[in-house]
Amino acid sequence: MTRPRIAIDAMGGDVGVRVMVAGAALAAARHPHLTYLFVGDQERIERGLDAHPELRSRSEIIHTDQTVSGDDKPSQALRKMRGSSMGLAIDAVKQGLAGGAVSSGNTGALMAMAKLALRTMPGIDRPALAAMLPTLGDNDVIMLDLGANTECDANNLVQFALMGAAYARTALGVERPRVGLLNIGTEEGKGTESVRDAAALLRAAEGLPLEFKGYIEGDKLSRGDVDVVVHDGFSGNIALKTIEGTARFVTDLLRRAFTSSIRSKVGFLISRPATELLRHHLDPNNHNGAVFLGLNGVVLKSHGSANDKGVANAIHVCAELLEKDIVGQVQADLAGLKATAPAAVAK
């Protein structure tokens, strides 16, 4: 490839082709060097491109009418891998036809296909799903795992910490990321055995490109006290959905309050600049795009309900990770982990 290319599963998500093409058009203005490989129903993609002629010259299409539904189990999705839009988009990364892939489809299916096609890096047992979320601090916080692995042992959590720190340096520009383990308390004796063992391993490992800050509780996730929060996929997915639900609750509550009376409506007009800033900060589309770290390739999961702005942000994240070589960064950090960490972690 002479120019970076991103493969897009055009059939995934709640809306599908229209929003995926529109999102790519928005991203194209931000990344004029990118080209796109749309995978899905050619006729529908062509119609989408008709609305964005500036994108057409930078796009190619791989036709398929097979899709992975949101109800498909990973085992069912794998049987569709060779012919589905999701499977072909990932295969494009494997074959070197694209640098990365973006899909709004079934998370479990995407994980299974990506792991089978791209394999995990040497030294990584399981990939982790990582995303950036807003905080009150100077930087966003990276959280992982967000649902790829419901059960994790101490070694998994240590590997997640290393990958999350590499992501923070790559995406946030933090030279020595602060890493915390999500726990039910900050005392050393709190939490599950795997969390306590992971903390002990991180404290004992010397020379890692991160600063381990110990445990962090759920009510501190948005404070900006750490750059990376590590947890198993079960806890992480619950935490993520709780954060998203709270954000919607706050915005809906404000909307209801400001429309409850004429006096409230006048108050809304006065405070509109502040409420618009709050709405922008809480809008999940502005933080859309979770990456599967630990694979020999870049695969981004866009939220199924994301609008065109959200899809564009997922494509932006993918482009940034390709440009800054997140795969190479994680590989380099793994080499350092093997050289400095206790034997339990050094595979």
Q: What number is the average pLDDT over the span 147-154? A: 90
More confident residue, 70 or 39: 39
The mean predicted confidence, pLDDT, of the chain is 87
Q: Which of 68, 87, 118 is the last residue of a domain?
A: 118
Q: Are residue 85 and residue 109 in the same domain, yes or no?
A: yes
> Helix, strand, or coil here: 186?
coil
| Residue 310: inside a domain | no
pLDDT tens for each residue of 276-311: 555 555 566 777 889 999 999 999 999 888 899 999
Q: Are residue 194 and residue 53 in the same domain, yes or no?
A: no
Q: What number is the average pLDDT over the span 15-28? A: 92
Percentage of the chain exceeding pLDDT 90: 53
| Residue 302: inside a domain | no
Is the bond into 232 cis (omega within 30 degrees of 0)? no
More confident residue, 62 or 304: 62
Q: Where are the alpha helices (DSSP H) in the chain?
A: 17-30, 42-50, 53-56, 74-78, 85-94, 107-118, 154-171, 193-204, 233-258, 262-282, 308-323, 326-340
pLDDT tens for each residue of 197-217: 999 999 988 788 899 999 999
pLDDT tens for each residue of 112-150: 999 999 999 988 999 999 998 888 888 889 999 998 888
pLDDT at 156 over 90: yes
How does DSSP classify residue 232? -
Q: Are residue 225 and residue 331 in the same domain, yes or no?
A: yes
Please give the order of strands across the beta sheet that includes 178-182: 59-63, 35-40, 5-9, 100-103, 298-301, 290-293, 128-133, 141-144, 228-230, 178-182, 211-216
Length of the chain: 347
For residue 346, the model assigns a pLDDT of 46
| Backbone dihedral angles phi then psi of residue 324, each to the nearest 5 degrees | -95, 5
Q: Are residue 74 and residue 44 in the same domain, yes or no?
A: yes
| Residue 168: inside a domain | yes
The rounded distance, in Å, linking the Cα atoms of 214 and 344 is 19
Q: Are residue 214 and residue 192 in the same domain, yes or no?
A: yes
Q: What number is the average pLDDT over the span 49-77? A: 89
> Helix, strand, or coil here: 152?
coil
Q: Are residue 238 and residue 132 in the same domain, yes or no?
A: yes
| Residue 26: inside a domain | yes
Q: Are residue 145 and residue 283 in the same domain, yes or no?
A: yes
Q: What number is the average pLDDT over the span 29-57? A: 93
Enumerate the β-bridge partners of residue 277.
none
Residue 205, domain extent: 123-287+324-347
